[in-house]
């Protein structure tokens, strides 16, 4: 018997997407001579622990306790040493990890076909800053505009539309102020850019802002999209609210805090968080259908990943044999079959 047998879905998604191979090559230059553990496998183990609800490096212990599901897992000192090594690699290490993720993301979308977010030829990326509080002195932490203390990573999420979740991107910035930084301000009016303003009646109890007029709320957005009705442009802009759902999921998947002290280490942590968010976005896209594709990480953990089972090996596959009375057994058992039907990477 193994606990968290449902996490086999994440492990199989890693294998079918080719993430294990790609991420193994990324930190290879920082591998110690005679090292026993692959640095890429260590990164993936930490990301899997975060995807399962962990919020610090030490939470890889939950994977170490289940070698039948996750394989051999490095000890805590080895994990910490790798984080220090990658942090010392600076931008070079970050670029290596991001290129690996980009390569795998492209492969996953080819596998997903019509379920991919770019199936209609358009990709929507929602940008927003996220306040991450710090309860101790950490590098680059400062007072925030909400009168708290911490960091303000700038995040971006690829919108999967109404039928899916979203993939992340982000980086730690100096300071903790709002996204509209001086360096982001326009120095001119770009060609083709339009500012569209709509007047609407505020809902009961809403507080008007200083830019509203005559008791009506003025909403505005800028776009350079052409040959599209204004109503469709406004609908697309309003659907950006889905970014708030992604931020909530990110906070529940490692972005509640930056657990390390140095900014370079926390930047590596943020890359790990993004891998941890990629997995529960890619797995439903490849292996699940219907309403289950919309489940956020917390619901996936409760219904799927936390399920205990007897792990049976057959035909070079690991199949969890779950209790028949578990309400979501059919979801857990059907998903591996869909993953197995996908072509192997390479």
Which residues 6+ apart lie within 8 Å of 262 measured at CB? 87, 138, 139
- Dump pLDDT digits (tens) for 307-325: 988 877 777 776 778 888 9
Please count the other Cβ atoms lying within 10 Å of the Cβ belonging to residue 229: 8
Q: What is the pLDDT along the chain (346 residues), one digit of tens a residue?
A: 888 888 999 999 999 999 999 999 998 888 888 888 999 999 999 999 999 999 999 999 999 999 988 999 999 999 999 999 999 999 999 999 999 999 999 999 999 888 888 777 777 788 888 888 888 788 888 888 788 888 888 888 887 766 656 666 655 555 444 444 445 566 788 888 898 888 888 888 887 777 777 888 888 888 888 888 988 888 888 877 777 788 888 899 998 888 998 989 999 999 999 999 999 999 999 999 888 888 999 999 999 999 988 877 777 776 778 888 999 999 998 998 899 999 988 7
Average pLDDT of the chain to the nearest whole number: 85
Q: Per DSSP, which regions of the chain are E strands? A: 125-129, 132-133, 142-143, 149-151, 154-159, 166-171, 194-200, 217-223, 309-314, 317-322
Closest among 125, 130, 131 to 156, alpha carbons compared: 125
pLDDT for the residue numbered 9: 92
Full-model pTM: 0.85
Kind plus residue range of the DSSP H or E element containing 315: none
Please count the other Cβ atoms lying within 10 Å of the Cβ belonging to residue 256: 13
pLDDT for the residue numbered 327: 93
Structural domain boundaries of the chain?
5-122+252-341, 182-240
Give the single-character DSSP code of 234: H
Buried b (16+ CB within 10 A) or exposed e, 119-154: eeeeebebebbbbbebeeebbbbeebeeeebbbbbb
């Amino acid at each position: 018997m193994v606990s968290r047998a449902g996490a086999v879905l994440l492990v199989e998604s890693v294998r079918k997407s080719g993430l294990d191979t790609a991420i193994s090559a990324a930190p290879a230059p920082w591998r110690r001579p005679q090292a026993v553990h692959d640095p890429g496998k260590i990164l993936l183990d930490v990301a899997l622990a975060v995807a399962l609800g962990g919020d610090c490096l030490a939470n890889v212990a939950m994977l170490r306790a289940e070698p039948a599901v996750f394989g051999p897992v490095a000890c805590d000192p080895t994990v910490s040493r790798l984080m220090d090594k990658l942090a010392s690699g600076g931008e070079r290490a970050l670029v290596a990890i991001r290129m690996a993720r980009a390569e795998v993301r492209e492969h996953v979308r080819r596998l997903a076909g019509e379920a991919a977010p770019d199936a209609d030829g358009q990709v929507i990326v929602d940008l927003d800053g996220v306040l991450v509080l710090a309860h101790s002195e950490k590098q680059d932490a400062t007072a925030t505009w909400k009168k708290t203390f911490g960091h303000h990573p700038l995040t971006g999420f690829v919108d999967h539309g109404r039928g899916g979740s979203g993939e992340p991107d982000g980086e730690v910035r100096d300071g903790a102020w709002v996204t509209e930084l001086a360096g982001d301000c326009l120095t001119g009016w770009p060609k083709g850019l339009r500012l569209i303003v709509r007047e609407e009646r505020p809902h009961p109890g809403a507080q008007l802002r200083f830019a509203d007029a005559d008791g009506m709320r003025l909403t505005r957005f800028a776009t350079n999209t052409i040959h599209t009705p204004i109503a469709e442009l406004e609908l697309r802009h309003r659907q950006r609210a889905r970014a708030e759902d992604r931020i909530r999921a990110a906070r529940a998947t490692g972005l509640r805090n930056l657990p390390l002290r140095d900014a370079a280490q926390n930047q590596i942590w943020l890359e790990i968080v993004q891998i941890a968010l990629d997995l529960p976005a890619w797995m439903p896209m490849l292996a699940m259908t219907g309403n289950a594709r919309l489940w956020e990480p917390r619901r996936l953990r409760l219904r799927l990943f936390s399920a205990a089972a007897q792990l049976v090996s057959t035909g070079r596959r690991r199949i969890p044999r779950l209790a028949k009375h578990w309400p979501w057994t059919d979801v857990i058992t059907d998903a591996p079959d869909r993953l197995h039907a996908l072509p192997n990477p390479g």
